[in-house]
Amino acid sequence: MKKPYYIDFPQEHVEGHMHKYRCAFCKLETTAINGTLEGHLADCEYRIEQEAKGYEALENSNKTTNYGTDEVD
């Protein structure tokens, strides 16, 4: 079972950055997480909780680690 976007995790403001938010659990920025479950750390409480509910990270399709690519289209 999958959700198109995983954005219902608790977020906190990144100090000193007006428009940056990060996961309250694994502290990764939302821009790095990019709405995906595998964007969280493997031991992130939110990710573990989602996986426990039966959701799963998307399989590795053709992308490895391409964080920070804003120009996808």
Q: What is the contact surface with Zn ion in residues (CB under 5 A)?
A: 23, 25-26, 40, 44, 46
Report the alpha-carbon distance of residue 73 to residue 69 in Å, rounded: 10
Report the alpha-carbon distance of residue 52 to residue 67 in Å, rounded: 25
- Residue (34 or 44) nearer to Zn ion, CB: 44
Backbone angles phi, psi at 44, to 5 degrees: -65, 135
Give me the least distance between CB of 69 and Zn ion, in Å please: 20
- Residue (43 or 71) nearer to Zn ion, CB: 43
Report the alpha-carbon distance of residue 17 to residue 42 in Å, rounded: 25
Give me the least distance between CB of 54 and Zn ion, in Å please: 18
Give me the least distance between CB of 24 and Zn ion, in Å please: 8
- Residue (4 or 10) nearer to Zn ion, CB: 10
